[in-house]
Amino acid sequence: MKVATAAYNLDWHDSWAQYEDKLESWVSEAAGQGAELLVFPEYGAMELSTLNGAEVAGDLERSIRAVSDRMEVVQLVHQRLAKAYNTYILGASAPVIDGPGRPVNRAAFYAPDGGTDHQDKQIMTRFEREHWDIAPGGPLKLFDTALGKIGVLICYDSEFPLLGRALQEADLILVPSCTEALSGYWRVRIGAMSRALENQCVTVTASLVGSNDWSEAVDMNTGTGGIFGPPDIGFPQTGVLAEGTLNQPGWTYADIDLNAIAHVRADGHVLNRTHWAEQDVRANSVTISAL
């Protein structure tokens, strides 16, 4: 399959038609290059707050609620595009109010046949906890698709090995991210590459990029798209299948061979995924040695 992952810049929209045209332009470009799976970044839906005007877009709490209010219509647009262009799409994540509690950070996943599901972020960053007051959502899911088994670890989630291990059956793990600084981008990238090594799978990072002085929430963003595998048989020695140019909006593409994933898991130079359980006894037998 061919995967396309986005370095996505937010825009100010004066009308719903502008947003819909932008989204279709991105999808049509990637589909035109033969991509069967498209990955948008974390909090890319925050540009929808501009439809409510500058006062709302610039207020953290009001922008969260404005975006959440539009997500049902956003879902319909993505379903239409996934079907029209015969692609799977991981939509840009959004704060979604789903019940009486605080919003969750949710990325919806769309299939070409109109099917849809979602993945919620599991562990909140300090900014999400202390400023946004975003809540952990529902459990991790493994999506069984025509392209293979796919999991999603939203940004900070990719930095936790046990969450990655919970998705050990995934052929691909998608990592939509939103990071303010270069250090944040590299934390997510290192996490994604580590999960590819441990699970002997492919990880796909998508980034929000650019500055937006109209927003308190996503005012500065650093990153690029990247696609990574284990540095082993059938994959590049660096583990880097493809990477974009830092902070340059656009798609990054790579061809993924599920047979290569199966082969490296069965007969790689190392077998991290198979040998994972051997850590338990070793980690529990640490002794103190005085020097």
Q: Do 212 and 219 touch, CB atoms closer than 8 A?
A: yes
Domain for residue 276, yes or no? yes
Report the pLDDT value the prediction gives residue 190, as an integer from 0 to 100: 98
Interval 133-165: pLDDT, tens: 999 999 999 999 999 999 999 999 999 999 999
From the list 258, 261, 251, 257, the residue with the least C-alpha distance to 39 is 251
Report the pLDDT value the prediction gives residue 245, as an integer from 0 to 100: 98
Of all residues in the chain, what percent are helix, strand and coil, respectively (each to 5)?
A: 40, 25, 40
Stated as kind and residue range, the H or E segment containing 210 is strand 202-211
Q: Domain holding 121: CATH number?
A: 3.60.110.10
Report the pLDDT value the prediction gives residue 255, as an integer from 0 to 100: 98
Model pTM? 0.97
Helix axes 71-84, 60-69, angle to 10 degrees: 50
Report the pLDDT value the prediction gives residue 241, as an integer from 0 to 100: 98
List the structure tokens of 244.
């974009």
pLDDT digit string (tens) for the chain, length 291 residues? 999 999 999 999 999 999 999 999 999 999 999 999 999 999 999 999 999 999 999 999 999 999 999 999 999 999 999 999 999 999 999 999 988 899 999 999 999 999 999 999 999 999 999 999 999 999 999 999 999 999 999 999 999 999 999 999 999 999 999 999 999 999 999 999 999 999 999 999 999 999 999 998 899 999 999 999 999 999 999 999 999 999 999 999 999 999 999 999 999 999 999 999 999 888 888 888 898
Domain for residue 192, yes or no? yes
Residue type, 74: V
Domain for residue 182, yes or no? yes
Interval 179-232: pLDDT, tens: 999 999 999 999 999 999 999 999 999 999 999 999 988 999 999 999 999 999
Domain for residue 287, yes or no? no
Domain for residue 290, yes or no? no
Domain for residue 274, yes or no? yes
R_g (Cα) of the chain, nearest Å:
19
Domain for residue 16, yes or no? yes
Report the pLDDT value the prediction gives residue 182, as an integer from 0 to 100: 98
Rounded to an integer, what distance in angstroms lies between the CA atom of residue 7 and that of residue 235?
Answer: 23
- State how many domains the chain has: 1
- Domain of 163, in residue numbers: 2-281
Domain for residue 198, yes or no? yes
Long-range contacts of 27-30 (CB under 8 A, 24+ apart): 27/81, 27/85, 27/87, 27/89, 28/85, 29/251, 30/4, 30/87, 30/251, 30/253
3-state secondary structure of 17: helix
Residue 89: other Cβ atoms inside 10 A: 27
List the structure tokens of 51.
């439809």
